Structure 1
Amino acid sequence: MSSRRLVSAAAVAACTLLTVPPAYAVPSAPAPSPGKARAVTAELALDVSLLNKAIDVPVNLALNKVETPAQRWGSPQPEAGGGSVLTAKVDGVDQQGPVTLVKADVGKSVTRSDAKGTAASVQLVNADVHAPGLPATALLGLEAMSAEATCPVDGQPSADVVAPARLTVLGKPVTVGLYGPTKVDVPLVGSVSVEFSKRTTTSTTAAASALEVQVAVNPLNLNVAKVTGTITVASVSCEKPSAPPATPTAAPTTAPATDAPTSAPAVQPVADTTTRAAGPQAATEKPAAGLAATGGSSATGPLAVGAATLVAGGAAALWATRRRRAAHARRH
């Protein structure tokens, strides 16, 4: 390879390294959350102990449980609801057919989710809640009550509960306290603890339960020895949607003009190579005077490789020139 070709290849390699831009990872924008809404007219989580078996039969059922996640942003979801009677077959309970656990004239759960926000509501009218082994006596009896949770996109989430007009526990009229659970003891039957209106709100969520009932009864009827667990009446919750990400603005396609010179100035010869320490600590290796200290960047590696390539190309050209001169002198 001739000296001219060697110099040209070195220059091309240096220019390629100097002009390749560094690669940067572009973070993806988080997807907007559609929000959620949930409503349950009545939810039972009970353990039923049987007389003739040393086991507990779990009863985990919900009446009118509806949930509404939005399918896509800006697409409203239809309202959802359910019936007003909850029956279940509880294995081991000696009675014909399934056990009626909840019966109401009106039992409606509704959820909504759209671009304006999410909401959930429950309405219950003239409802009786039974426990396995107590078919004749209602564990809970209430006239009317409701609960609602709202989570707007622009605004503070809220939860509201309307107290039952009338409430009975095991056939006894009860006035539910507002600042703590109300306990009802019935001789030879058991105890029931009722707590009204448990509400929680945050900056993005809201939840409420109109009644939360802790049950511990011993009916000794229909092969049932003991019933324990929790009954939740009119439970609602919601989570507000997040706003869709903003559309990014396009970057300018032309670089702004600068006043920087097109060619770098020649480096002046260095007269004094001795440097002085700046601050209390002196560097072990002293840099040459006249060179500015700068911070590293992503382009430092390509610049250094390009500079090394240019130096190597210049050295090769100088060596080739000296060889031609020496050969010419020997011929003459």
Structure 2
Amino acid sequence: MNSNVFRMPARRSAALAAAAALVAGPVVLAAPAQATGGAGASGGKGKAGAVVLRTGLDVSLLDKSVQVPLRAALNEVQAPADADRTALTVELDGVDQGKPFTVLRADVATARATVDEEKAEGYANIAHAKVHVPGLPLLSLIEVKEVTSKAVCAAGAKPVAESNLLGAVTVLGKKVTLSAGGPTRVEVPGVGEVTLDLSQTRTTSRTAAATALELRVAVNPLKLNVADVQGTVTLAEATCEAPAAPVKQEQPAPEKEGVVPQTAGEPVAENLAETGGSSTTPYLAGGAVLLLAVGGGSLVLVRARGRS
């Protein structure tokens, strides 16, 4: 008797659970869509630079008893801030018997560097220019008609670097033809020699650099040791580094048809009409009631038998 009394509540609980499951139907929780991209803001700023002339020369005077480093830059500019310079000469003191010495003189000498959110650009141009070094007051180290360099780095695009040389080039009084395939060497007996590299460009995924002319200089006029000049001279150099490309934010994934998100703890029965209860729901509910009735009738029979 006691065993029958304790078993029936368990059966009744099972019947109630089955009915509840039939009425509620299956519930599928849809995971919220997540974006894998960033906030869309630029992750870095660009840079740009340009210079018309740069020297890295060591000058030895009076049988190398006096050594003077000749470090000069004409119209050197850097950006993020826009910069533009157009000075036409650069002079140094103390390397020509104490008098000012003109390293470069040009009709046009422009350097420009600009940066914004979309691109960075460096530009250098020089025209009708003459470069001199100590010990050669009447003979130009190099004369050029026009050279330009340009470096453009746009966000998300391949950087571009280019240099152009227009017109004749004269080195130590000799007209020369330069080749982009390799260095050109010019030697003048009793004066010295100059090796020239034409139109050097370099690019990476975000940077670019262009140099119109680079000269390696070794000059000692008549080997008198009045002015022994060694080093490099660079004409028309431009560089840039691209701003970081904006990161595009991904759109949320569309929800699958017939699958409705449901928050934890939300009553299932209250949302039946909104969450897709089908036309079979009344039949399922009727089946649940029938199960409950059968369970109740079984309980009455068991109690009646117990009394008998």
Q: Does the TM-score normalized on the shorter chain lie above 0.5?
A: yes
Structure 1 letter corresponding to 2:88: S
1:107 aligns with: 109
SS of the residue aligned with 1:88?
strand
Cα deviation, 1:109-166, whole Å, max 9, x if unaligned, reads: 0111011200011111100001111110000001111110000113110011111311
Number of the residue aligned with 1:192 = 194
Q: Distance in 1 between matches of 2:149 and 2:79?
A: 17
Task: Give the aligned partner of residue 47 of structure 1.
Answer: 58
Cα drift, residue 177 of structure 1 = 1.1
| 2:97 maps to which of 86, 94, 100 | 94
The number of residues matched between the two structures is: 220
Contact 1:134–1:221 (Cα < 8 Å) also in 2: no
CA-atom RMSD, angstroms?
2.8
TM-score (norm 2): 0.65
Task: Provide structure 1 residue ranges, at least 5 long, that are not aligned to the other structure.
Answer: 1-27, 70-76, 250-254, 260-332
Match of 1:307 in 2: none
Amino acid at match of 1:35: G
8 Å CA contact 1:94–1:222 kept in 2: the answer is no
Q: Paired residue for 2:270? A: none
Contact 2:156–2:245 (Cα < 8 Å) also in 1: no
**Secondary structure, aligned partner of 2:85:** coil
Which residue in 1 is equivalent to 2:89? 85
C-alpha contact (below 8 Å) 1:190/1:216 kept by paired residues? yes
Match of 1:57 in 2: 68
* Cα-to-partner distance string for 1:83-129 (whole Å, 9 max, x where unaligned): 111111134x326x310000000000011101120001111110000
CA contact (8 A) 1:42 1:232 kept: yes
Please give the per-residue CA displacement for 1:19-54, whole angstroms capped at 9, x wherever unaligned.
Answer: xxxxxxxxx999832110010001000000111553
Contact 1:133–1:222 (8 Å) recurs in 2: no
Q: Which one has the bigger strand percentage?
A: 2
Report the counterpart of residue 133 of structure 2 in structure 1: 131
Residue 144 of structure 1: aligned partner: 146
Once residues 92 and 175 of structure 2 are traced to their aligned partners in structure 1, the CA distance between those partners, rounded to angstroms, is 27
Which of the numbers 196, 200, 206 marks the counterpart of 1:204?
A: 206
CA distance in 1, matches of 2:132, 2:223: 13
Please list, as runs of the form range in 1=range in 2, the aligned pairs for 1:232-311 lying within 5 A after superposition: 232-243=234-245, 257-258=263-264
More relative contact order in 1 or in 2 (CA 8 Å, sep 6+)? 2
The residue number in structure 1 matching 2:46 is 35
Task: Normalising by structure 1, report the TM-score.
Answer: 0.61
1:141/1:169 contact within 8 Å kept:
yes
Deviation at 1:218, TM superposition (A): 0.3
C-alpha distance in 2 between matches for 1:31 and 1:224: 56
Q: Match of 2:94, SS?
A: coil
User: 5+ residue gaps in structure 2?
Assistant: 1-37, 252-260, 266-308
Comparing 126-135 with 219-228, which one deviates more in the overlay?
219-228
